[in-house]
Amino acid sequence: MQPLLHREAFLERLRKQEQWDVLIIGGGATGLGVALDAAARGFRTVLFEQHDFGKGTSSRSTKLIHGGVRYLREGDLGLVREALRERARLRHNAPHLVWPRLFVVPCYRWWERPFYGIGLWLYDRLAGKGRLGLTRRLDAVETHALLPTLRQNHLRGGLAYPDGQFDDARLLVHLAWTAAEHGAVVLNYMPVEALMGTRSHLEGVVVRDLDSGERFEVRGRVIVNATGVFADTVRRMDNPNATPLIVPSQGVHLVLPRRFLPGEAALLIPRTDDGRVLFVIPWHGQVLLGTTDEPVPNPELEPLPTEEEITYLLTHAGRYLEPAPTRADIRAVFAGLRPLVQRGGMQEDTAHLSREHVLLVSRRGLVTVTGGKWTTYRLMAEETVDRALEVGGLPHRTSPTATLRLHGATRHVNVADPWHVYGTDARHLRRLMEAEPELAAPLHPRLPYRMVEVVWAARYEMARTVEDVLARRTRALFLDAAAALEAAPAVARRLAAELGRDSAWVNAQLRDFVALVRRYVPDLHTHDPNDTSRSEQTAPRRD
């Protein structure tokens, strides 16, 4: 199989191409969405990401493709309708990566079922033909059957409604694949160090390859800033006096063992002490609990959860689940930053800042897109490319992405199969495993991954580090941080063999990964990364 996501081939094209039509900074959901949209319209497109695709916000979501039921309470009907329309499109375009999930809202007071029922009735209507099903009322017995660990004292019943779930980092990889299939160059580990141009017009960027240190001056007709919470940093490269636009907001998630939610339905906690909505969701064999919404002063690539956020989530989950989860039950904790946009330049409570996206064009022609949410990434990209074509003096061409199937899309999806996130590529992994039987070895007894996925990530998905493999090509770090740490030595050795690295590289990778894991479980007892005794345990084979 010929790899399309091939870093050396991309670098060679970068050396030969004198000018690009659309140049994109940022390799998250928005940036890769823009790259796909521009390339699918036939424009010469190049994208640069400072770290790995989705290292920041885009791999740290609540894993929902949804309209956002809480936005109904805030009166954002337009945002909800728009997101539900995009949910239907994404479900069609990437059925291997977006699947339905039933959510249950438990009701303990007499007025809650009619009150929440009205909102969910409206949610159904706003979805129109794209709805995944209809909301239905549940009595107490039906509610407990769907959520066996739900607290039963005073339970009156509930409401069940369908919504969308997905794997964010895997969707990013498939966006990169699809963009490459349409001719785009997408490069990770290529930070933009400067913008080039005159006082009146931007002409390109200076980028550096972190692997080799090689610098490139890359020229483009139009430059798109799609860097999320780092948008202001790029805006200040263009104009050092740019008014701050972004208010970063931190959202923390906890990952718990499946026993806390053993059924297939998800729990929606309709109101917290501070008026938020929380989700408790089955995800890849574990349970995801989130999220918080706290302003932070400065964006970071690896934000750190606070003790207060962890306690907040455990406290609210404990009011609904029996037994209540404790800190000792946490398999992983991760934080993501939302790029919320200030209205009128005024600081506001981040929970009430709009999730709608904004488009800005600077005096020198830098197109900045920020804000928004995962569900609407495609629409954001379409609108951004429309505007970028105007700024760059490029011919208008209609976007095809509303119905464009993403790489790997297949009609035959079995969500119970852990490899469904590869779509049609799953057959290639199986052939690779048949050709090299040792690749069938599980990475860890508590993880649903095999060594063949490490090889696939290195050869076909531009994975460059142990973190890339265990955090984003697989979701091991997010599912069970301790298990990911124990799997890391074997992963590092195999990745080194694939990338032509030496033992010093392996040791450096393991040191870096140990430090990273401590941020996902701050009180985790870490062992010697060169001690492989626990990482070589066997697990049941997965066919």
- Asked if residue 96 has pLDDT above 70, the reply is yes
Size of the chain, expressed as the number of residues it contains: 543
Beta bridge partners of 222: 22
pLDDT at residue number 539: 34
Higher pLDDT, 260 or 79: 260
- Asked if residue 345 has pLDDT above 70, the reply is no
Query: Which tens digit of pLDDT belongs to each residue from 441-484?
Result: 999 999 999 999 999 999 999 999 999 999 999 999 999 999 99
What number is the average pLDDT over the span 496-505?
97
Query: What percent of the chain has a predicted confidence (pLDDT) above 70?
Result: 93
What number is the average pLDDT over the span 140-145?
97
pLDDT at residue number 348: 36
What number is the average pLDDT over the span 28-57?
97
Helices and strands, counts by H and E, the chain: 16, 18
Query: Which tens digit of pLDDT belongs to each residue from 395-426?
Result: 999 999 999 999 999 988 898 899 999 999 99
Look at phi and psi of residue 364 and say left if phi exceeds 0, alpha if psi is from -120 to 50, else beta.
alpha
Cis peptide before 291 (omega within 30 of 0): yes
- Asked if residue 4 has pLDDT above 90, the reply is no
Q: Across all residues in the chain, what is the average pLDDT?
A: 92
> Nearest-CA neighbor of 402 among 29, 41, 17?
41
**Amino acid identity for residue 52 in this structure:** D
Tell me the C-alpha distance between 499 and 186, whole Å: 19
Query: What percent of the chain has a predicted confidence (pLDDT) above 90?
Result: 86
61: which DSSP letter?
Answer: S
Tell me the C-alpha distance between 381 and 83, whole Å: 14
Beta bridge partners of 212: none
pLDDT at residue number 77: 87
What number is the average pLDDT over the span 34-48?
98
Q: Give me the phi and psi of 313, to 5 degrees please.
A: -70, -45
pLDDT-derived band at 76, boundaries 50, 70, 90:
confident
- Asked if residue 358 has pLDDT above 50, the reply is yes
Q: Which residues contact 176 (CB under 8 A, 6 or more apart)?
A: 5, 27, 32, 35, 53, 186, 461, 462
pLDDT-derived band at 347, boundaries 50, 70, 90:
very low
Q: 152-158 long-range contacts, Cβ below 8 Å, gap at least 24?
A: 152/322, 154/108, 155/106, 155/107, 155/108, 156/107, 156/108, 156/109, 156/110, 156/112, 156/113, 157/106, 157/107, 157/113, 158/104, 158/105, 158/106, 158/107, 158/113
- Asked if residue 339 has pLDDT above 60, the reply is yes
- Asked if residue 350 has pLDDT above 90, the reply is no
pLDDT-derived band at 94, boundaries 50, 70, 90:
very high
Domains recognised in the chain with CATH numbers: 7-57+170-245+343-403 (3.50.50.60), 100-165+247-339 (3.30.9.10), 418-520 (1.10.8.870)
- Asked if residue 53 has pLDDT above 90, the reply is yes
Give 397-414 as a DSSP string.
----GGGPPPTT--S---
- Global pTM reads 0.93
**Amino acid identity for residue 91 in this structure:** R
